[in-house]
Amino acid sequence: MKLKLLSLGNNRKLAENIPVFNLPQGKTCSGKTAVCQKICYALKAERMYPSAAAMRARNLLATKRDTFVVEMIAELDYCIAHKGTKYVRIHESGDLYSQSYLDKWIEIAKEEPEITFLAYTKSFHLNFDGAPSNMKIYASTDSSTVRDIVSAEMVVKHNCAHIVLKGELPPNGYHTCQHTDPKHYCGSQCELCWNGQVSVYFPQH
């Protein structure tokens, strides 16, 4: 089976059996901040790799189809059977752009209880109450985030993932990945985010 929605092995920071689903940057990021627009890694990737931009555009169209949930489940079942997949990253690029789109991922996660789904989001206005325990949601923040728009309820329920720019100090009490292997470490050596137990920070690189 050829994967049409998910990509595998294109992110050197992820274990090779962790598929990723991406959307176009910017147009699906209603909560983007000044820091996002300044250091957006997804934008750089789309400029460097036109094929990545094209795939993300096709994925956005796919999310609007009534068949999206069924199509995604079919690809995930293939990844489980042939790649031993147990983790899925929702959005290296893009965000949860609407409640109906989020609800589709919630349905997918419920249908695939053996997989842990991970998403960082700035769509703080959405209702995440229906997300199952195998769907780990982080409120994505940075120094330009307007704190008032990040509901206290969301932070309590889902933890935060904070980008630390060069010269900034990490937030107190936040953790970061202590990987030692520079290749394919996330989800193999470090499972901090996948466990969804603590708030985390990521230094700018």
- Express each pLDDT in 70-129 by its tens digit: 999 999 999 999 999 999 999 999 999 999 999 999 999 999 999 999 999 999 889 999
- Dist CA 5 CA 7 (whole Å): 7
Higher-pLDDT residue of 39, 132: 132
- pLDDT beyond 70 at 42: no
Average the pLDDT over 42-50 and give the result.
Answer: 70
CA-CA distance, 188 to 3, in Å (whole number)? 22
Q: How far apart are CA 37 and CA 144, in angstroms?
A: 11
What is the rounded average pLDDT of the residues 182-194? 81
* CA–CA dist 161, 124 (Å, integer): 13
Binning pLDDT at 50, 70 and 90, where does residue 12 land? Answer: confident
Name beta bridge partners: 135: 117
Mean pLDDT computed over 48-72: 93
Judged against a pLDDT cut of 60, whether residue 132 lies above it is answered with yes
